[in-house]
């Protein structure tokens, strides 16, 4: 009997291709499909990819640019991951990130005469806090009013974009400027560089490891994971489902807001509504590419950050439109979720005829 069980276990290990193979296959498949599209246009995919990746990873300036792009992506990926761990699909990372970006920009130009470290900490805290408020609204509605978080976060995205546009074009607008944007932040609040590399990236990576530790080794993490995997069992075990859901959305929003703040303080140095578009949604791709593992987010974000960083050069070298990167990302998302989808159908198809046969 125990030998039989050993065999089952071994086979599980052998056949469980779920963990890291899927993201790799997803990326490779997406690139292959994109190659076909490029060839159909008479372009050279090898040249395009070579240009894309040498620009992104071939020089230390390239890597610095890649890490700069990757920084907010790590944080938006972490925000999505935290939600998913607690069983929530936070589609509102985009709105939370915008809120955080604007809040930290305001703190960056309006608060003056602060020592740099204090100013940076305060501006980051602003980003976190306001992102957390947006997340907490959805969390409250889900936990205490039973409104699905996908609905509320989508609606909150629209609401937040409206408010942020208004603020950036009226009270917080840079005076005597045609563009809708805030004044530039003060020098004291800019995130420093570590040599060539943006320090914000290291902050984001540290946060990823911290989240990994919290989820894996603390009672708080156990609460989040348990609610995400089986909320009925969580409730039975004395874990407050409502509290956990609320705080998961709050922190998810906060981390997204922090992502916006790091972007403002480390890259753009001001808030301009068009700057941050898409960062929140890329976070969904990255979270799934990283198998909803906090540390797995880092390579995912670097890959996608690199594609974003190399896109312009790819057009220059190979004549491929930079929108190809969006297409690639969309296909990666599709292929990375495809196994989930196929597994879902596989599990449900036979049920009508074989349900209750002792499985």
Dihedral sign, Cα of residue 112, residue 113, residue 116, residue 121: negative
Question: CA-CA distance, 194 to 251, in Å (whole number)?
Answer: 28
Looking at beta carbons only, is 171 or 236 nearer to other proteins?
Answer: 236
Bridge partner residues of 198 (DSSP): 193
Whichever of 10 and 187 has its CB closer to other proteins, that residue is 10
Q: How far is CA 70 from CA 4, 18, 187, 205, 232, in A?
A: 46, 25, 23, 10, 37
Provide the minimum distance between the beta carbon of 237 and other proteins in the complex, in angstroms, as a whole number: 4
We find the least distance from the C-beta atom of residue 1 to other proteins, in angstroms, to be 7
∠ Cα 190 195 196 (to 5°)? 80
Provide, rounded to whole angstroms, the least separation between the CB of residue 14 and other proteins: 7
- Give me the residues paired with residue 197 across strands: 194
From the CB of 84, what's the least distance to other proteins, in Å? 13
CB of 222 to other proteins, least distance (A): 5
If residue 193 lies in a helix (H) or strand (E), which one and from where to where?
Answer: strand 193-194
Q: Please report, as ranges, the residues that interact with other proteins according to CB under 8 A.
A: 1-2, 4-12, 14-15, 217-222, 225-226, 229-230, 232-239, 350, 352-359
Whose Cβ is closer to other proteins: residue 60's or residue 230's? 230
Separation between Cα atoms, residue 127 and residue 141, nearest integer Å: 22
Return the structure tokens found at 266: 């480390």
Contact predicate 324/34, CB 8 Å:
yes
Residue among 8 and 40 whose Cβ is closer to other proteins: 8
| 266 Cα distance to chain centroid | 17
Q: Which helix (H) or strand (E) holds 307?
A: helix 297-318
Return the number of the residue (6 or 323) whose C-beta is nearest other proteins: 6
Angle at 25 between CA 23 and CA 28, to 5 degrees: 110
Min dist CB 327 to other proteins, Å, is: 34
Tokens 């972007």 identify what position?
263
Cβ nearer to other proteins, comparing 274 with 353: 353
* CB nearer to other proteins: pick between 158 and 349: 349
- Smallest distance, Å, CB 353 to other proteins? 6
Which residues touch 193 (CB under 8 Å, ≥6 apart)? 199
Residue 223: CB minimum distance to other proteins, A: 8
Q: Closest CB to other proteins among 148 and 229?
A: 229
Inter-residue contact 13 to 280 (CB < 8 Å): no
Name the DSSP class of 174: P
Q: Minimum distance between the CB of residue 216 and other proteins, rounded to whole angstroms?
A: 9
Classify 87 in phi/psi space as left (phi over 0), alpha (psi -120 to 50) or beta.
Answer: left
Residue 89 or 202 with smaller CB distance to other proteins:
89
**Coil/strand/helix, residue 148:** coil
């Amino acid at each position: 009997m125990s030998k039989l069980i050993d065999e089952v276990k071994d086979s599980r290990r052998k056949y469980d291709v779920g963990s890291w193979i899927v993201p790799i296959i997803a990326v490779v498949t997406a690139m292959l499909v994109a190659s076909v599209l490029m060839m159909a246009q008479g372009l050279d995919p090898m040249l395009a990819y070579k240009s894309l990746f040498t620009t992104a990873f071939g020089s230390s300036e390239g890597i610095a640019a890649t890490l700069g792009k990757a920084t907010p992506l790590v944080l938006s990926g972490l925000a999505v991951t935290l939600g998913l761990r607690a069983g929530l699909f936070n589609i509102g990372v985009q709105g939370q990130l915008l809120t955080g970006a604007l809040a930290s920009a305001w703190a960056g130009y309006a608060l003056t005469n602060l020592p740099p470290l204090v100013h940076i900490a305060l501006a980051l805290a602003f980003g976190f806090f306001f992102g957390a408020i947006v997340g907490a609204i959805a969390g409250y509605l889900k936990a205490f009013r039973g409104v699905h978080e996908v609905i509320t976060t989508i609606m909150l995205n629209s609401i937040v974009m409206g408010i942020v546009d208004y603020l950036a074009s009226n009270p917080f607008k840079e005076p005597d400027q045609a563009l809708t944007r805030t004044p530039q932040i003060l020098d004291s609040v800019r995130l420093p560089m570590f040599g060539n590399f943006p320090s914000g990236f290291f902050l984001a990576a540290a946060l990823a490891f911290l989240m990994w530790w919290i989820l894996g080794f603390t009672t708080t993490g156990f609460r989040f994971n348990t609610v995400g995997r089986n909320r009925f069992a969580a409730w039975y075990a004395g874990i407050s489902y409502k509290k956990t859901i609320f705080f998961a959305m709050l922190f998810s929003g906060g981390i997204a807001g922090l992502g916006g703040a790091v972007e403002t303080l480390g890259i753009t140095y001001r808030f301009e509504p068009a700057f941050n578009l898409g960062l929140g949604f890329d976070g969904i791709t990255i979270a799934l590419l990283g198998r909803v593992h906090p540390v797995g987010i880092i390579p995912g974000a670097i890959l996608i950050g690199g594609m974003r960083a190399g896109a312009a050069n790819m057009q220059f070298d190979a004549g491929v439109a930079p929108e190809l990167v969006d297409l690639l990302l969309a296909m990666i998302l599709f292929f990375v979720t495809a196994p989930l989808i196929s597994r879902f159908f596989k599990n449900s198809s036979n049920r009508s005829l074989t349900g209750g046969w002792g499985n």
